[in-house]
Amino acid sequence: MPWYKAGTVSVTQNSNAVIGVGTAFIANSRVGDAFKGPDGRWYEVVNIASDTALAISPPYAGPTAAGAGYSITPVQGYVKASADRLSKISTEIASVETSVQAAAASATAADQSAVAAGQSSADAGAASQSALDAAEQAGAAKLAAETAEGNAAASAGAAEDSADRAEQVVGAFDQNAQAKTDAFNQNAAAAQAAIDLSVDAAGDSASAAADSAAQAAQSEQNVAHKVNVSDIVDGLTSTAVDKPLSANQGRILKGLVDSAGSASATLVTYEYVATAGQTSFSGPDRNGLTMAGVVPGSALVTVNGADISQTTECSLTATTLTLNGGPALPAGAVVQIHAFGTFAVANTFTQAQVNALLTPKLSRSDIVGTVSQASGVPTGAIIESGSNANGSYVKYADGTMICTRRMELGSRAITTAYGSTYITPSVGSSAYPASFLAGTTPVNAILVESNGGVTYAASGLNSVPSWPAVYVCSPTSVTLTLNLNMTAIGRWY
């Protein structure tokens, strides 16, 4: 039987109801049929209320849809057709049996009439012959009825076999459909799990990369500040506001704080809920606290979490807040006064005392000098720098080393054909200005400067601890003024 798809349907997520437009559900579907919804999932038809309304199980799982396509698969169609055919044959057999019974009754009556006629008179011969003819005809009718009954029984058996085969086909269809549905759901779940793992891993990698970049930027900023030794050895008297503490200063100041003893302070927050247009706040707040002892210069005032100025927008006394600027407050606005109490700090130090403590512990050699290490532990200065004919280098106490080199090549002909491009003879191959750790290969970066045209640098694999041979390339044959800026980053221990 064909699938039924006439009209459109409207479905609601988590609802069993299916409402049709232009549909005829009663004549074209049965309870137990398979309903394929707009979401592509299969559901069982559990009730047919009218030509435009039916119910499904389980409830519709997809998103709510209106005027959508659908299909109804007659899962019970073959069994139903066979049952209808069998019912029709049974009716025909009952009709034949009635005819046979009537013919048999007629034959019996005819026999009785013939016997009576033979005994009564010879003149009844004609009537007897007629009765015999009728009996013969009745016998033929009875034989025909028996033949019809046999044919009907055979048809009923064939119909029953067809019904059994149809039921087997439907069962196989159900099993196959269920197996495919289970496999699809398992594959979908596995795919979703893989996507979730990939997304989580990508998020973790992105977070780690962002953290590393931020740490690298901060490290670079701190190093740039620390090389200005005068900002550190002057005993914290520099007026520069963008110079961070060195590691030594941090340790010294921590010791001062640790030995300074304890400190105490108080903070009380008064919270009022305003009426429309209210400008004065005092007395008990919403929590039962009564404003008292507020020091105006040691308090913070906020309206709905935003700071307001105590110079232009409000005035504050020990017990009252008065708003005198800004728009009128709406009903329900939250006004807070964060009042800080006085506090005391024990064991304070003067600037002279701090300078006396710091100055003997800091020297230029602690920062800039010769870096060294023992078994992977830094033992010398923090930064070492130098230069020679092969470039410049900066070594850091953590083992990082950066080498740079600038080569001003002057006018160079980029005219040697190499495939579809043009190159210069190789330049730049020489030792690094300082040695990287044996067995490691630093990361090299090369930038080409030119006075025109499109140029870029290329080099071969660098398998030796030295600047690589560089070829300046151009898509056209040209002569340009060229400079090379080369950088190598690696480790010196």
pLDDT in tens, 224-257: 444 454 544 444 555 555 555 555 555 555 665 5
Q: If pLDDT is split at 50, 70 and 90, which confidence band does 34 have?
A: very high
Query: What is the reported pLDDT for 349?
Result: 77
Q: How far is 307 from 304, CA to CA, in rounded Å?
A: 9
Question: Residue 273: pLDDT band by 50, 70, 90 thresholds?
Answer: very high
Q: Regarding predicted confidence, which is higher, 92 or 457?
A: 457
- Percent of the chain, pLDDT > 90? 47
Query: Is residue 397 over pLDDT 80?
Result: yes
Average pLDDT over residues 29-35: 95
What is the overall mean pLDDT for the chain?
78
Q: How many CB atoms lie within 10 A of CB 40?
A: 8
**Cα(first)–Cα(last) distance of the chain, in Å?**
81
Average pLDDT over residues 461-466: 74
Model confidence at 460, pLDDT cuts 50, 70, 90, reads confident
Q: Do residues 175 and 141 lie in contact, with contact meaning Cβ atoms separated by under 8 Å?
A: no
The 3-state DSSP class for residue 41 equals coil
* Whether the predicted model's global pTM rises above the 0.85 cut: no
pLDDT band with cut points at 50, 70 and 90 for residue 483:
very high
Single-letter amino acid, residue 25: F
- Answer whether 346's CB lies under 8 Å from 260's CB: yes
Query: Looking at 140-144, 295-299, 421-425, 479-483, which range is the least confident one?
Result: 140-144
- 69-73, 123-127, 410-414, 475-479: least confident range: 123-127
CATH number of 394-491: 2.60.40
Q: What pLDDT score was predicted for residue 183? A: 58
pLDDT tens per residue across span 327-377: 899 999 999 999 987 655 566 778 888 777 766 555 667 799 999 999 999
